[in-house]
Amino acid sequence: MAILDILNYPDPRLHTVAKPVKEVDASLRRLIDDMAETMYAAPGIGLAATQVNHHIQLLIIDISETKDQLQVFINPRILEKDGEQVYEEGCLSVPGIYDSVTRAEKVVVEAMNEKGETFKLEAHGLLSVCIQHEMDHLLGKVFVEYLSPLKRTRIKNKMLKQQRNRPM
């Protein structure tokens, strides 16, 4: 397994729309393992393939306290949304930035797992937020795009400054 580089906002590659996964094979499972290692090391609770510069419809989530309940979503689709909740979100691609975003309280998602088996899941609360947040990445959208233009500009400038000041 390997720790992958996470793209940082405002990297234009974060705005790439992901393509469906055609085949669940050993190379995809290796990517899932690498993404899991990357997410746990960051540390984070969700990671989309887009964030590690693989533009396929794959995301992983683990909201457990013990960090041993990895959920894999391949070609996820939201079938239902219900309710509304405001959650303070952060993102591994926008380190150190947290802000409130309004999303559906409940979602029903259909996807494949790492074995290629299709499943349906009803998610509430934090899991629902994570699924919606990571699926946004697959559509080329970063959570800061829900914020006001002024906040977005400030965040973008802060991120660019951090990148310039980072040792090579």
Annotated catalytic residues are: 134
| CA–CA gap between residue 146 and residue 149 (Å, rounded) | 9
Residue 93 and residue 9 in contact, taking contact as beta carbons nearer than 8 Å? yes
If 0-12 CB within 10 Å is exposed, 13-18 middle and 19+ buried, where does residue 36 land? middle
Taking every pair of Cα atoms in the chain, the longest distance, rounded to a whole number of angstroms, is 46
10 Å Cβ neighbour count for 43?
10
| Region of 64 on the Ramachandran plot (φ > 0 left; ψ -120 to 50 alpha; else beta) | beta
